[in-house]
Amino acid sequence: MIRSLINHHILSDLEKESLFIIQGSRGVGKTELLQELQQTFQAQGRTAVLIDVYRERFSPKFDSPERFYDFLRNNFSMSEKEPLYLLFDNVNALDKIAHFLAYLHDILGRTVKLFCTTSIALGSVVLDEKTKKEARVYTLHPYSWYEYMSVVSDHVYDVSLPWNNESALRDFYKTHQRDLEKQFPAYLRWGGYPQVVRAKNSAAKQEAMHEVIDNYLERDATYFLRTPQLRTFLSFLRLLATESTELFNHDDVSMRLRLHKKTLAKYVHIASSTFMFNFIPPFFTDGRREMSKMMKIYPHDLGLTSTLSGGVQVRYGEEVFDETMIKNFVFTELNKNRTIKQLQFYRTIAKAEIDFVAHVDDNHVMPIEIAWRQGKQKASVAMKNFVKKYEDRVKQVVVLTQDDLRQEGKYLFVPVLVLPFLEF
C-alpha cells in the first residue's frame, strides 16, 4: 500500500536525513501517517512530539522561530546521538513557513528529526535552496484503486504484475474480474478519500465528501484568498469539474466567469497547488504540426469531480458509465504511479489525439490510449503514427480496453481495471 511504502521510505532515510515533508490534499490521511510514525518512534524508546500547528497557531511559541527554538530547549533534551523527533501536522498554517522551516533546520541540525505535513504543494512555499535540497518530500494521494480494493474487498490484492507477462495478467484478470467490476462504480462515484471510503452508505459518503470540500475552502483556499472571493473560486472549481478531460481555454473561462486574466491565473495556481486539479501540458517537438500550449484539466480525486459537478450515478456496463469517467480514473491512477516522471497528452493540429504520454525515464515515453469498448480492440491511427514518429523514444504502448487482454510486440492491450496493478 502507498501509505506503508511512504512510511517505509521515511524510516529507511532516518539515519541520513533530518527534514521530511509529506504533502497532499486535506483529508488524504497525512495526520494518521504522522501518528503512526510517532507510535513507531515511541515504541523504539525515542522522544517523539506531535504538534497540530493549525490548532496551536496562536500559541506564543509560534510567534517566531526563535521563540519556538526556546520552547524546545526549555522542554526537551536534544543531541545528535539522541535526537528529538518533532512532528508538525498542518505546517502550512504557519506564517512565513519558509523562514520558519529554514531557521529550525539550520539551527537544530541533526539534533532534531523534523517531520512536516502540508496541504499546499512544496513548490508554492518558497524555501531557500539549502532547505529545499535537503528536504525529503513525499506526496500522499487519496486511496488508489489498488489501495481501495485492498480496503473494501475480501480478495487479496497484494500483487504487482510485470506489464510484459501476459500469462500472469490473464490469471489475475480471470481470478478478480467479477470483484473488480463489482467495486468499480462506487470508486468512480466516490473516489478515494479515506473518510469517504470508510463511510457506510451513500448519504454518509456524501456528507464526508462535502466535509472534505468545506475544510478545503476554510483552511486551504483561504491561505491564498480572502473570504469574499471563495464563492467565485468555488464556481471556478465547479467549472473545472464539469469540464475535466477537456482543453483549458483561458480566454473562454475568463469570459464565462467574468474573471480578470490575472485572477484566473491565480485560481489555476491555487487549484493545482492545493491538490484539487491538475493541468497537464501537451507533448510536442514540432509546434507547427503538434499542439504546444493549451493544457488539459484532470481532477486529483474522482469523488471530488462528481460532487462538485452535481453527482452522478454509475453502473457497470451502462451508457452513463462514460469515457470521461474512465479518462479521469486513468489519469488519477497514472498520477499516483511513482515510476512515472511526468504526464502529458498528445494532439496534432489536425486533431489526432492520444490520451496520455507518460515519461518513464529521461529518454523514454509510454503512450497510452483508452478504447473503452467490449471485445478485441485496435490501436488508433494516431497511436501508430506517434509510435512511428517517436520510435526511438517509445518504450512500450498501452491500449486500455474494457475486457481485451493481449500482448502484440510492444503493444499491450489491457483492461482499464488492471492498469493500477501493472509494474512498468
Q: Which residue has the higher pLDDT, 98 or 416?
A: 416
Do both 83 and 214 map to the same domain?
A: no
Is the pLDDT at 1 greater than 70? The verdict is no
Picking from 96, 113, 139, the residue at the C-terminal end of a domain is 139
Read off the pLDDT band of 76 (50, 70, 90). very high
Task: Provide the pLDDT for residue 204.
Answer: 96
Structural domain that includes position 124: 2-139
Do both 179 and 76 map to the same domain?
A: no
Task: Provide the pLDDT for residue 14.
Answer: 82
Task: Provide the pLDDT for residue 311.
Answer: 61
Do both 156 and 204 map to the same domain?
A: yes
Compute the distance between CA of residue 314 and CA of residue 325 in angstroms, rounded to an integer.
Answer: 9
Compute the distance between CA of residue 207 and CA of residue 191 in angstroms, rounded to an integer.
Answer: 14
Is the pLDDT at 390 greater than 70? The verdict is yes
pLDDT digits (tens, 9 = 90+) for 90-115: 998 888 888 888 888 888 888 999 99
Do both 338 and 243 map to the same domain?
A: yes
Picking from 111, 139, 167, the residue at the C-terminal end of a domain is 139
> What 3-state class would DSSP assign to 46?
coil
Do both 310 and 361 map to the same domain?
A: yes
The amino acid at 59: S
Do both 132 and 219 map to the same domain?
A: no
Is the pLDDT at 218 greater than 80? The verdict is yes
What CATH number did the domain enclosing 81 receive? Answer: 3.40.50.300
Q: How many CB atoms lie within 10 A of CB 293?
A: 10
Please state which of the ranges 55-64, 133-142, 327-336 shows the lowest mean pLDDT: 133-142
Bridge partners of 370, per DSSP, are: 400
Read off the pLDDT band of 9 (50, 70, 90). confident
Is the pLDDT at 319 greater than 50? The verdict is no
Compute the distance between CA of residue 105 and CA of residue 196 in angstroms, rounded to an integer.
Answer: 36
What is the mean predicted confidence (pLDDT) over 219-241?
92
pLDDT digits (tens, 9 = 90+) for 142-174: 999 999 999 999 988 877 888 888 999 999 999
Q: Per the structure block, which three cell numbers stand in for 363?
A: 529518454
Q: DSSP for 51-114?
A: EEHHHHTTSGGGS-HHHHHHHHHHH----SSS-EEEEEESGGGSTTHHHHHHHHHHHHGGGEEE
Do both 411 and 264 map to the same domain?
A: yes
Picking from 109, 139, 169, the residue at the C-terminal end of a domain is 139
The amino acid at 172: F
* Mean pLDDT over each residue of the chain, to the nearest integer: 91
Answer yes or no: pTM beyond 0.85: yes
Q: How many CB atoms lie within 10 A of CB 136?
A: 16
Do both 93 and 156 map to the same domain?
A: no
Is the pLDDT at 70 greater than 80? The verdict is yes
Do both 9 and 110 map to the same domain?
A: yes
Whether the CB-CB separation of 328 and 245 falls below 8 Å is answered with: yes
Task: Provide the pLDDT for residue 350.
Answer: 94
* Beta-sheet pairing, 247-248 with 19-23: unpaired
Do both 125 and 153 map to the same domain?
A: no
**Residue 280: C-alpha distances to residues 37, 268, 287, 300 (Å):** 33, 12, 17, 12
Do both 330 and 290 map to the same domain?
A: yes
Is the pLDDT at 208 greater than 50? The verdict is yes
Is the pLDDT at 38 greater than 80? The verdict is yes
Task: Provide the pLDDT for residue 133.
Answer: 80
Reported residue count of the chain is 424
Task: Provide the pLDDT for residue 294.
Answer: 94
Please state which of the ranges 36-45, 220-229, 274-283, 303-312 shows the lowest mean pLDDT: 303-312
Task: Provide the pLDDT for residue 24.
Answer: 95
Number of structural domains the chain divides into: 2
Do both 64 and 172 map to the same domain?
A: no
Residue 155: closest CA among 179, 187, 183:
179
Whether the CB-CB separation of 370 and 327 falls below 8 Å is answered with: yes
What is the mean predicted confidence (pLDDT) over 80-94?
92
What is the mean predicted confidence (pLDDT) over 288-306?
94
Q: Per the structure block, which three cell numbers stand in for 10?
A: 521515511
Task: Provide the pLDDT for residue 71.
Answer: 95
Please state which of the ranges 12-16, 89-93, 230-234 shows the lowest mean pLDDT: 12-16
Whether the CB-CB separation of 107 and 73 falls below 8 Å is answered with: no
The one-character DSSP state at 344 is E
Q: Per the structure block, which three cell numbers stand in for 185?
A: 462504480
Q: Which residue has the higher pLDDT, 342 or 109?
A: 342
Rg of the Cα trace of the chain? 23
Task: Provide the pLDDT for residue 125.
Answer: 63
Is the pLDDT at 396 greater than 70? The verdict is yes
What is the mean predicted confidence (pLDDT) over 58-81?
93
